[in-house]
Amino acid sequence: MNSTSKSLRVLVVDDDPIAAETLAYAMSQFGYCSEVAGDGIEALKHVRTGQFGIVISDVEMPRMNGIELCKEIRARNACGYTYVILLTGRSDTDSIVEGLDAGADDYISKPFHPAELQMRIRAGERLLMQQSRELMIFAMAKLADSRDNETGSHLERIREYCRLLCEELSTWPQYQDVIDGIYIQSIYETSPLHDIGKVAIPDRVLLKPGRLTPEEFAIMTQHAQIGGDTLRAVAEAYPEAVFLRMAYEIAMTHHERWDGTGYPRGLSGEDIPLSGRIVAVADVYDALTSQRVYKPAYSHEKAVQIIRESSGSHFDPAVVRAFLILEDRFREINRELGDVVGYTAGPSHLPGTAIRMA
Amino acid sequence: MTLSLPTHLPVVDHDELHQRMMGNALLAERMLNKFVATAPAECDQLESAIRIGDKSTVTSLAHRHKGTAKTLATHRVAAAASHLEERAATDSVSELLALLEELRQLHQEVRDVVGGESTCSAPENGAQRP
Greater pLDDT, A234 or A32: A32
Whether B96 maps to a domain, the answer reads: yes
In a domain, A292, yes or no: yes
Q: Do A67 and A189 have their domain in common?
A: no
Tell me: the pLDDT tens digits for A140-197?
787 777 777 555 688 899 999 999 999 999 999 999 899 998 899 899 989 999 998 9
- Residues of B numbered 19-48 whose beta carbons fall under 8 angstroms of chain A's beta carbons: which are they? 19-22, 24, 27, 31, 34-35, 38
In this structure, is residue A331 part of a structural domain?
yes
**Closest alpha carbon to A289 in A190, A153, A183, A166:** A153
Q: Is A113 in the same domain as A160?
A: no
Q: What is the largest CA-CA distance in chain B?
A: 46
What's the CATH number where A86 sits? Answer: 3.40.50.2300
A60 touches chain B (CB under 8 A): yes
Question: Do A275 and A154 reside in the same domain of the chain?
Answer: yes
Residue A142 lies in a domain: no
Min CA distance, B65 vs chain A (Å)?
8
pLDDT of A4 over the 80 cut: no
Q: What is the pLDDT of residue A150?
A: 53
Q: Is residue B28 part of a domain?
A: yes
User: Cβ–Cβ of A22/B70 closer than 8 Å?
Assistant: no
Residue B25 buriedness (CB in 10 A; 0-12 / 13-18 / 19+): exposed
| Residue range of the domain that includes B23 | 14-112
Same domain, A178 and A228: yes
- The residue of chain A with its CA nearest to that of B65 is A16
Residues A89 and A176 reside in one and the same domain = no
How many domains is chain B built from?
A: 1
Residues A190, A306 share a domain: yes
One domain for residues A172 and A292: yes
How confident is the model over A50-90, as pLDDT tens digits?
889 899 999 888 889 899 999 998 887 656 788 999 988 77
Between the alpha carbon of residue A86 and those of residues A102, A111, A120, A155, B66, the distances in Å are: 10, 12, 11, 36, 17
A95-104 pLDDT, tens digit per residue, is 788 888 888 9
- Tell whether A70 and A173 lie within a shared domain: no
In chain A, the percentage of residues whose pLDDT exceeds 90 is 54
In a domain, A21, yes or no: yes
Q: Which of A16, A25, A26 sits opposite B64 (nearest CB)?
A: A16
Among A199-213, A344-358, B65-79, the range of highest mean pLDDT = B65-79
Residue B57 sits in a domain of what CATH number? 1.20.120
Residues A169 and A282 in one domain: yes
Residue range(s) defining the domain that contains residue A246: 149-356
Number of domains in chain A: 2
Identify the pLDDT of residue B41: 93
Residues A154 and A301 in one domain: yes
Per-residue pLDDT, B91: 83
Mean pLDDT score, A118-131: 87
Question: pLDDT truncated to tens, each residue of chain B (130 aa)?
Answer: 445 556 667 889 999 999 999 999 999 999 999 999 999 999 999 999 999 999 999 999 999 999 999 999 999 999 999 999 999 988 888 999 999 999 999 999 999 888 744 433 444 333 333 3
Beta strands A106-109 and A297-298 are unpaired
The per-residue pLDDT for A210 is 80
Which DSSP helix (H) or strand (E) runs through A42? helix A40-47
Point out the residue among A15, A22, A62 whose CB comes nearest to the CB of B31: A22
Please tell me whether residues A183 and A317 are part of one structural domain.
yes
Residue A134 located in a structural domain: no
Domain containing A216 — which CATH number?
A: 1.10.3210.10
The answer as to whether A106 is a domain residue is yes
Contact B22 A17 (CB under 8 A): no
Question: What pLDDT does residue B5 have?
Answer: 56
Q: How confident is the model at residue A211 (pLDDT cuts 50, 70, 90)?
A: confident
Contacts of A60 in chain B (CB under 8 A): 60, 63-64
CA distance A41 to A62: 9
Domain assignment present for B126: no
How confident is residue A270, by pLDDT bands cut at 50, 70 and 90?
Answer: very high
The verdict on residue B19 lying in a domain is yes
- Chain B residues touching residue A12 (CB < 8 angstroms): none
pLDDT attached to residue A126? 86
Question: B42 lies in a domain?
Answer: yes
Question: Does B8 fall in a domain?
Answer: no
Last residue of a domain, one of A60, A95, A127: A127
Q: Residue B6 domain-assigned?
A: no
User: Does A19 reach chain B within 8 Å, measured CB to CB?
Assistant: yes
Q: Is residue B57 less than 8 Å (CB to CB) from chain A?
A: no
d(CA A39, CA A34) in angstroms, rounded, equals: 15
Residues of A in contact with B77 (CB under 8 A): none
